[in-house]
Amino acid sequence: MTREENFMCEAVRIGVQGMRNNMGGPFGCIIVERDKIVGRGCNSVTSLNDPTAHAEMMAIRDACHKLGRTNLTGCELYTTCEPCPMCMGAIYWSKPDKVYFSNTRYDAKDAGFDDEFIYEQLELPINKRILAMQCVTVEEAKKMFEEWVANNKTLK
Protein backbone atom coordinates (compact mmCIF):
# COMPACT_ATOMS: atom_id res chain seq x y z
CA MET A 1 0.00 0.00 0.00
CA THR A 2 1.20 3.52 -0.74
CA ARG A 3 1.64 6.23 1.87
CA GLU A 4 -1.47 7.98 0.52
CA GLU A 5 -3.54 4.79 0.64
CA ASN A 6 -2.48 4.17 4.25
CA PHE A 7 -3.56 7.66 5.28
CA MET A 8 -6.83 7.32 3.35
CA CYS A 9 -7.53 4.03 5.12
CA GLU A 10 -7.12 5.86 8.45
CA ALA A 11 -9.65 8.48 7.31
CA VAL A 12 -12.01 5.64 6.35
CA ARG A 13 -11.47 3.97 9.74
CA ILE A 14 -12.43 7.21 11.51
CA GLY A 15 -15.48 7.64 9.27
CA VAL A 16 -16.67 4.07 9.84
CA GLN A 17 -16.15 4.40 13.59
CA GLY A 18 -18.16 7.63 13.69
CA MET A 19 -20.92 6.16 11.52
CA ARG A 20 -21.18 3.01 13.68
CA ASN A 21 -21.23 5.14 16.85
CA ASN A 22 -24.16 7.15 15.41
CA MET A 23 -22.13 10.37 15.25
CA GLY A 24 -23.32 11.15 11.73
CA GLY A 25 -22.96 10.09 8.11
CA PRO A 26 -20.26 7.88 6.57
CA PHE A 27 -17.47 10.42 6.29
CA GLY A 28 -14.01 10.68 7.82
CA CYS A 29 -11.06 13.04 7.45
CA ILE A 30 -7.50 13.41 8.70
CA ILE A 31 -4.92 16.17 8.40
CA VAL A 32 -1.28 15.14 8.03
CA GLU A 33 1.83 17.25 8.61
CA ARG A 34 5.24 15.69 7.91
CA ASP A 35 3.75 12.18 7.95
CA LYS A 36 2.10 12.72 11.36
CA ILE A 37 -1.67 12.94 11.82
CA VAL A 38 -2.39 16.31 13.43
CA GLY A 39 -6.15 16.44 12.97
CA ARG A 40 -9.02 13.96 12.89
CA GLY A 41 -12.72 14.28 12.25
CA CYS A 42 -15.78 12.26 11.47
CA ASN A 43 -19.16 13.53 10.38
CA SER A 44 -20.94 14.62 13.56
CA VAL A 45 -23.89 16.48 12.09
CA THR A 46 -26.65 14.47 13.76
CA SER A 47 -24.97 13.87 17.12
CA LEU A 48 -24.09 17.56 17.56
CA ASN A 49 -27.20 18.93 15.81
CA ASP A 50 -24.75 21.03 13.81
CA PRO A 51 -25.06 21.16 10.00
CA THR A 52 -21.45 22.40 9.79
CA ALA A 53 -20.00 19.38 11.65
CA HIS A 54 -18.79 17.64 8.50
CA ALA A 55 -15.71 15.42 8.78
CA GLU A 56 -13.49 17.96 7.02
CA MET A 57 -14.68 20.81 9.23
CA MET A 58 -14.09 18.76 12.38
CA ALA A 59 -10.59 17.72 11.22
CA ILE A 60 -9.66 21.30 10.26
CA ARG A 61 -10.82 22.57 13.66
CA ASP A 62 -8.89 19.80 15.42
CA ALA A 63 -5.67 20.38 13.46
CA CYS A 64 -5.74 24.17 13.77
CA HIS A 65 -6.38 23.90 17.51
CA LYS A 66 -3.53 21.41 17.99
CA LEU A 67 -1.12 23.35 15.77
CA GLY A 68 -2.07 26.71 17.29
CA ARG A 69 -2.59 28.45 13.96
CA THR A 70 -5.35 29.25 11.50
CA ASN A 71 -3.75 27.76 8.42
CA LEU A 72 -2.67 24.29 7.40
CA THR A 73 0.18 25.23 5.11
CA GLY A 74 2.57 22.29 5.04
CA CYS A 75 -0.27 19.84 5.63
CA GLU A 76 -2.25 17.40 3.52
CA LEU A 77 -5.95 16.68 3.97
CA TYR A 78 -7.30 13.16 3.44
CA THR A 79 -11.07 12.86 3.22
CA THR A 80 -13.19 9.87 2.36
CA CYS A 81 -15.35 11.84 -0.06
CA GLU A 82 -14.95 14.77 -2.43
CA PRO A 83 -15.66 17.81 -0.23
CA CYS A 84 -18.98 19.61 -0.42
CA PRO A 85 -19.05 23.36 -1.22
CA MET A 86 -19.00 24.36 2.47
CA CYS A 87 -16.01 22.15 3.21
CA MET A 88 -14.22 23.31 0.07
CA GLY A 89 -14.56 26.88 1.30
CA ALA A 90 -13.05 25.93 4.65
CA ILE A 91 -10.31 23.95 2.94
CA TYR A 92 -9.35 26.90 0.75
CA TRP A 93 -9.35 29.21 3.79
CA SER A 94 -7.17 26.79 5.79
CA LYS A 95 -4.64 26.48 2.93
CA PRO A 96 -3.42 22.86 3.04
CA ASP A 97 -0.85 21.94 0.41
CA LYS A 98 -2.94 19.12 -1.07
CA VAL A 99 -6.30 17.36 -0.71
CA TYR A 100 -6.82 13.65 -1.27
CA PHE A 101 -10.33 12.18 -1.53
CA SER A 102 -11.73 8.72 -2.22
CA ASN A 103 -15.45 8.70 -3.09
CA THR A 104 -16.70 11.33 -5.54
CA ARG A 105 -19.61 13.71 -5.07
CA TYR A 106 -21.54 11.45 -7.45
CA ASP A 107 -20.87 8.44 -5.19
CA ALA A 108 -22.17 10.55 -2.30
CA LYS A 109 -25.30 11.39 -4.30
CA ASP A 110 -25.91 7.68 -4.92
CA ALA A 111 -25.66 7.12 -1.14
CA GLY A 112 -28.26 9.83 -0.45
CA PHE A 113 -25.97 12.85 0.09
CA ASP A 114 -26.73 15.19 -2.81
CA ASP A 115 -25.16 18.66 -2.81
CA GLU A 116 -25.92 19.40 -6.47
CA PHE A 117 -28.55 22.01 -5.57
CA ILE A 118 -25.85 24.02 -3.74
CA TYR A 119 -23.53 23.95 -6.76
CA GLU A 120 -26.47 25.10 -8.92
CA GLN A 121 -27.43 27.88 -6.51
CA LEU A 122 -23.88 29.25 -6.29
CA GLU A 123 -23.80 29.74 -10.05
CA LEU A 124 -26.94 31.91 -10.01
CA PRO A 125 -26.99 35.68 -9.46
CA ILE A 126 -27.89 36.51 -5.85
CA ASN A 127 -31.39 37.70 -6.81
CA LYS A 128 -32.18 34.38 -8.55
CA ARG A 129 -31.29 32.06 -5.65
CA ILE A 130 -33.85 30.17 -3.58
CA LEU A 131 -32.46 31.68 -0.37
CA ALA A 132 -33.40 35.36 -0.23
CA MET A 133 -30.34 37.58 0.25
CA GLN A 134 -30.13 41.33 0.58
CA CYS A 135 -27.22 43.67 1.20
CA VAL A 136 -27.87 46.06 4.09
CA THR A 137 -25.14 48.69 4.05
CA VAL A 138 -24.42 50.44 7.34
CA GLU A 139 -21.54 52.79 8.04
CA GLU A 140 -20.62 50.88 11.19
CA ALA A 141 -19.70 47.80 9.13
CA LYS A 142 -17.31 49.85 7.02
CA LYS A 143 -15.82 51.46 10.14
CA MET A 144 -15.24 48.00 11.63
CA PHE A 145 -13.05 47.07 8.64
CA GLU A 146 -11.30 50.44 8.75
CA GLU A 147 -10.45 49.87 12.42
CA TRP A 148 -9.05 46.44 11.57
CA VAL A 149 -6.82 47.90 8.82
CA ALA A 150 -5.77 50.85 11.02
CA ASN A 151 -4.65 48.51 13.79
CA ASN A 152 -2.69 46.45 11.24
CA LYS A 153 -4.19 43.19 12.46
CA THR A 154 -2.90 40.02 10.87
CA LEU A 155 -3.84 36.36 11.17
CA LYS A 156 -1.36 33.74 12.36
DSSP single-letter state for residue 78: E
| Strands, sheet with 98-103, edge to edge from the N-terminal-most edge strand | 36-42, 28-33, 75-81, 98-103
43 in Cβ contact with 23 (< 8 Å): yes
32 in Cβ contact with 24 (< 8 Å): no
pLDDT in tens, 96-135: 999 999 999 999 999 999 899 999 999 999 999 999 888 8
Nearest Cα residue to 42 out of 33, 29, 61, 51: 29
pLDDT at 27: 97
Give the pLDDT band (50/70/90) at residue 75.
very high
30 vs 153 pLDDT, higher one: 30
Nearest Cα residue to 97 out of 5, 7, 32, 40: 32
> Would strands 28-33 and 75-81 be described as parallel, antiparallel, or unpaired?
antiparallel
Whether pLDDT at 66 is above 60: yes
pLDDT in tens, 79-97: 999 999 999 999 999 999 9
Would you please indicate which residues are annotated as catalytic (active-site) residues? 56
